[in-house]
Amino acid sequence: MADAAPTYDVVIIGGGPGGYNAAIRAGQLGLKAACVEMRDTLGGTCLNVGCMPSKALLHASELFEIAGHEFPTLGIKVGKPELDLGQMMQQKTDSVTALTKGIEFLFKKNKVDWLKGRGRIAGPGQVEVEAADGAKTTYQAKNIIIATGSEPTPLPGVDFVDGKVIDSTGALSLDKVPGKLIVIGAGVIGLELGSVWRRLGAEVTVIEYLDAVGAGMDGEVATAFQRGLAKQGMSFRMGTKVTGAKVDDAGVELTVEPAAGGAAETVRGDVVLVAIGRRPYTAGLGLETVGIETDKRGFIANDHLKTGKDGVWVIGDVTHGPMLAHKAEEDAVAAVETIAGKAGHVDYDLVPSVIYTSPEVAWVGKTEEQLKAAGVAFKKGKFPFAANSRAKINHETDGFVKVLADAATDRVLGVHIYGPQAGEMISEATVTMAFGGASEDIARTCHPHPTRSEAVRQAAMGVEGWTMQS
């Protein structure tokens, strides 16, 4: 006899930033909601093996580097810092555990049921959950939200081998610092995790197919960013593709060749991190039971987060748009609010990007290259951190702020920051743009002194040619 399982207004498959935020918002709006998650903890890629553990290691490794290299010039004598990698990893794990428990608390607070196990759509309005012991229960759902996220993209010819050829998850839990780390892909993961291990003592070489780092960031920023990372000791082989890997006792031998064609050669490393992007995850999801097809790259398409099949929605990494936790959260709120009869909406032009290196890179809106390609006339204001008093006092003078505004209306079209705390400062630009603001709005707004945010104001002044402090 079938289980008398409850009927839900919304069942969300996946408990990452897309899924857990959808579940919480549904609970807040009085919808009867459940979230299916097959991991032992909630939080998805972001909390378990993504944003949060990587930021824990970025923070700790940055302090390690500062203690070793900057303390003496600041007049602080503590001797040569020693790495306790086990403790560094433990504090990361403790923070992650606290965060994932926090989501469990928020589920309880908002009356969301966590259905533990692997979820599968079993037909219109039905989600089957298979628990770890193999028991299956089918739940009725007026709405199903697919939030199954993504997984690392493998590189053909370079198979993963535990501890030697690794993905980002492996790079977050190495038990010793590799002598020589080769990173394939100069995107966000490669540059963040490459920075972690370089700071902890590895010799890091990044191999990138394209001629620029940063997977599509503004070209002027990418050039400065790469120069900054090289100055810190990271090596780059740009315009290069990896065609194969051989693992032996001594490490890994990669075969590389110029992306444009040319002679192959080999490069050796102790550990290779493959960070060439992520792909949507839909394995075993039962999409065929409701007639949903994925596109060539495996994504589920959406129109205002609807899949086109009655009552089935899709959010986060598994659908189109930037693969970012805060984009998944935006999708989640919009989908649930639409389900609840409100006006859900996401402005994908206003999803900021941040790379949490030191200094950070952050941007929102269009790059110069995009504006030129679209034939949009724009004005540009730029201000270096070398002329910002707070950055100078803190010995953090690398980088600049760039504000791009419409030549006719002065509306802000893009803001690009390469510099200290860029990730915190970008929200000023995002809010300005969300209100359709002009560069003059930033330029004529009082900013506190001495702060790095004054560099944003000075760059905005530069759009009309009246930067005062450089």
Of these, 242, 305, 324, 429, which contacts ligand FAD (CB under 6 A)? 324
* The two three-digit tokens of residue 168, written as one number: 């980002």
Residue 177 and residue 115: Cα distance in Å, rounded? 39
Pick between residue 186 and residue 442 the one whose CB is nearest to ligand FAD: 186
* The two three-digit tokens of residue 330, written as one number: 């935006």
Of these, 16, 27, 269, 359, which contacts ligand FAD (CB under 6 A)? 16
213 binds ligand FAD, rule: CB under 6 A:
no
Three-class secondary structure of residue 420 per DSSP = coil
Compute the 3-state secondary structure of the chain and give helix, strand, coil in percent, each to the nearest 5: 35, 25, 40
Is 449 catalytic? The answer is: yes
- Contact partner at residue 15 from ligand NAD, ligand FAD, none, CB < 5 to 8 Å by partner kind: ligand FAD
Rounded to the nearest whole angstrom, what is the least distance from the CB of residue 18 to ligand NAD in the complex?
14
Sheet containing 360-365, strands listed edge to edge, beginning at the edge strand earlier in sequence: 353-355, 360-365, 412-419, 400-406, 378-384
118 binds ligand FAD, rule: CB under 6 A:
yes
Pick between residue 125 and residue 280 the one whose CB is nearest to ligand FAD: 280
Pick between residue 122 and residue 161 the one whose CB is nearest to ligand FAD: 122
In the 8-state DSSP scheme, what is residue 157?
T
Site for ligand FAD in 192-211 (CB under 6 A): none
Rounded to the nearest whole angstrom, what is the least distance from the CB of residue 168 to ligand FAD in the complex?
4
Of these, 155, 273, 336, 442, which contacts ligand NAD (CB under 6 A)? 155
192 binds ligand NAD, rule: CB under 6 A:
yes
Residue 420 and residue 404: Cα distance in Å, rounded? 20
Sheet containing 180-184, strands listed edge to edge, beginning at the edge strand earlier in sequence: 165-166, 271-274, 180-184, 203-207, 235-237
Pick between residue 172 and residue 412 the one whose CB is nearest to ligand NAD: 172
Site for ligand NAD in 195-214 (CB under 6 A): 207-210
Beta strands in 238-365 (DSSP E): 240-248, 251-258, 265-269, 271-274, 278-280, 312-314, 353-355, 360-365
User: Cα-flanking dihedrals φ and ψ of residue 339, to 5°?
Assistant: -60, -40
Residue nearest to ligand NAD (CB): 187
Neighbours of 80 (CB within 10 A): 6
Site for ligand NAD in 221-280 (CB under 6 A): 241-242, 275-278
Residue 365 and residue 235: Cα distance in Å, rounded? 30
Q: Which residues bind ligand NAD (CB under 6 A)?
A: 155, 184-190, 192, 207-210, 215, 241-242, 275-278, 322-324, 354-356
Q: Which residues bind ligand FAD (CB under 6 A)?
A: 13-19, 36-39, 44-46, 50-51, 54, 118-119, 147-150, 168, 189, 281, 285, 316-317, 323-326, 328, 356
Active site residues: 449
